[in-house]
Structure 1
Amino acid sequence: MAIQLPNKFIGNYLYIAILLVMTSRGVASAYIQADSCQHPTPPVITGSAKDICRGESVTLTATGCSGTVIWSNGEAGSSIEVKPQQTTKYTAICRAQPGCISCFAEVWKITVNTPNAPILTSSATISCQTDAVTLAATNCSGTVHWSDHSIGTTWTGKLQQTATFQATCEQNNCLSNPSARVTVQIAAPATPIVSASQIEICARQSTQLTASGCLGTIRWSDGSEGSARIVTPDKTTTYRAVCQLGTCRSDSSEAVLIAVRRAEQKLELATTLRNGCPFQTADLSQAITAKNVSLSNYYQFRMGPSISSAPVQSPGAVLAGTYYVFGRDSAGCYTAPVAVNVTITPCAQAVPPCLSDPATVAIRLDSLDWAKGVVRLTAQLGGSANLPAWQSDGGGLFTTDGLTARYLLSETDRQRGKVLFTASTPDPDGSGPCSGASVQQTIAAPSRAAPSREIIGLGKKASEPIWLTEHNTNLIELTYQLVVSNLGANPLTTVQIADDLDAAFSATGALIQSVTVRADSGLVVNPNYSGRGADTTLLSAGNLAVGKQSRVWLTVRLDVSQANTLTFTNKATATGVDVNGVICRDRSTNGVEADPDQNGDPSDNDEPTQVTLHSLRPEESETVFIPEGFSPNGDGINDRFVIQHLPVDLTVQLEVYNKWGNLVYRSVNYKNDWDGTANQGINLSAAKGELPDGTYYYQIRLSDGRDYVRFMTLAR
């Protein structure tokens, strides 16, 4: 995985990069060659402290230099005062004259002991005035200080108005950055407004109830919860709702009356039935007379007087008892139930009931989600059948049993692409002449074959931050390169990438000024992408062939003057659709390689992409922008050492020295074209003349007399 420049700067003294512009006074009138001097010895650095808290100052002193001491943060002089915001290493060189410099001094490391900011969670985001609210602070090993000056890992109290909380962590006498803000809204529960999609329905028909205007939980008069629900009343019913916030409840809403109509026609049935020997069962359909011809296709036989009662399993062969018959008109409304009493008279040489009403069973597929590995089935019983037992020929797991079964696919099932299910009912009379029922059904994957496992991967690399000035405001420009890869066995379609910039920047106090996106051909950029709110999809469509990858460049300009941190981290998410319509996804990892450990699974690589600034503001006198470093690795980002904001009529003379003071590159009319190869010194004999990664010292002279003396980092 590629390493970000900021991490390199901090991690090794050869990668120091806190570079500010310094205008050299008294530029020598004659150009002096670097290799004609006697190189001075490196200065010796001492400091007033090595461990500080954020915001404290340290005085650094360099001795042993008879010339000018130039520090790695761009300042000059034998003594400087620094106030680093994070752990930083400082070095210096001794310059006897332009082009005549010493090696780097030994590093002085200042450790900034900034504790982690607390992470706040609240027991409620919306509450009423009578309820206590508790906030908890985690991620702090020291003392938590709340914004109201209270102390402790928890804050509990009753709020009279909406309030916003922050906290800091104090550890070893050092104070952390403030936590992210947590707001608790105080509101009185408003009386909800209730409506229904239909206020007059037939029995067994449904209507949707909706309650609006509530910031809390909707509670209905029949005990249900939720702002929208489907009801199927079997009689005329009145519904009301209240809004609840914590323990506070609103007044009850106005009532909504759902009228349940029944068929106007009355059923005329025989209310008493008997069996006919030798059968020990009766046929409920014999209760229906010729006077009910208009309803002859709309009968329901139930075990109870409600239309929602359990249906009679075998109306043509029932045992003794009371059953209920409903009619249904052409409008779908049910009649009132008519009770039918069945009396069974014993018969000589009687036919067992289970023979006249044999057990039957069928399997119905309720739902199939092959991607999630879940199958739901229902057994439809008939005759004398009792509850079934379920089996499969795969290695999956039944999580429910009975009339309905929920089955979780095994890896064997997925590879085969199909499962054979069996539902069997027990023998209703044991050793008698009857038998149970059994049925089998094969459930296959939607494609009739096991879907292959498709893999999408996403890498995200940040370029070095660039300072800009726009409308008298200092801005930071960050460019991210996102590389999306198809690591599976089939093409991917509808490739999308989402990146939430609010979470990365706005949450820390930074202001997003502008966002631009460009992408390789074949990818469709969302023209409305802002990275804020709900608009976080920057790549809306695209295709990826097997083994291919495509790139997207996301450039963000930020005002960080009010930011409460110097480090920004974020992740992006990539999704794609495989040949079976299944969505595969991956969260980005730091760098351009989506699977840096090469184990075939990019999902276990999700290191966030981090950018660290070395100050919240550049020097106010900054007019010419000189980068702190560059990465000539051929990835299209920061491959050249580019000096920005130069007046068009100026010429630039550039000299670059390695850490031993040897000249490795020179251009008397520089055109922003240096790619990290040497044109001076012993490195010319290396392959392609490529200079090794590391920290270099350079001098830039402009034709208007300005002279810039700095350090840079080259990191491929």
Structure 2
Amino acid sequence: MKKNLFFALLLTFGAFATSFAQAVNDTVYVTINRLPVKVNPIASRDSVYAGQSVNLTVTNCIGTVNWNNGLTGGSVTINPTTTRYYVAQCTSSAGCVGAKDSVRVVFKSLISPIATSASICFNESTTLTAPSTCTGGTITWSNNSTGGSITVSPTSTTTYTYTCTYTGSGTSNASGNLTVQVKPRPLAPTLVANPASILTGASSTITASNCSGTISWTKPDGTPITTGVSGSSLTITPTATTTYLAYCTTNGCSGPSASQEITVDSPIPSVAFSAPQICQGDPITITASGCSGTYVWSSGQTTPAITVTTTLSNYTVNVLCRTTAGDSAPKKIKFKLN
């Protein structure tokens, strides 16, 4: 009886030991994959102009680099049109995604070049200056000039384009433009004087026409004339023969000058005698001078010199100067018997 009990206990213990051993050896192992390191994206340039490209690179990713613009890869090329951040993440072969990091690329818009005047008159020049946003680039203009500032003298309205070329990581261009308006100059005005020849002390009026703008009057040396101006007319009282100039200005552009001469004649001729004194009955020659027209004597003669014979009585001889401006006052020559 005792022998049978021992055998039964032995069988029971043996079965328990076998079951325990099997339980101890039934282990399942789970692999934990490390997250990829945080990437460090780098841009080949931190600012760009229209048409320029940028290379974005990540070198510390063992796996696949994913960008927030949909591109993948450790090196991608972009052509920005706005300023933005480009975010990158590294995904391992196990599908683990690392921390995000970003790099900012600034988009710069090229502004039009600056001109000393964007509107000039014919035969004038203006200076064009490219904006400073082309720092680091080479500027070329559409007229084949180079440099940041050029002087141009267009004969008609012209648009100038400048190109800023960068040759860093690959050649890229950006451009801007400016239109220089060329305004025509007016023609010289037409001048008419009324009258063109005057006597000393008289006035003349010069009227300008053929000008749709403003008439300006000057002396031959360029001195402006403002006295006597009324609209497009000038009234003057010169004491000697004088030339007057007028030019037309339209839309801020002045044209060539026209000229008008006003002739001033002496009012009274000068006279000279063939002898300072004479005897009664002797002839004497009187010569007149200083007249640009015709001498007219009281005897009706029209020569510069006449000869008269003295008489027993006192008498007078007159001479005047006749021009297109009229007759001067007479020069009176009185003969007196002593």
Q: TM-score, normalised by structure 2?
A: 0.38
Larger Rg: 2
More strand by share: 2
Q: TM-score, normalised by structure 1?
A: 0.21
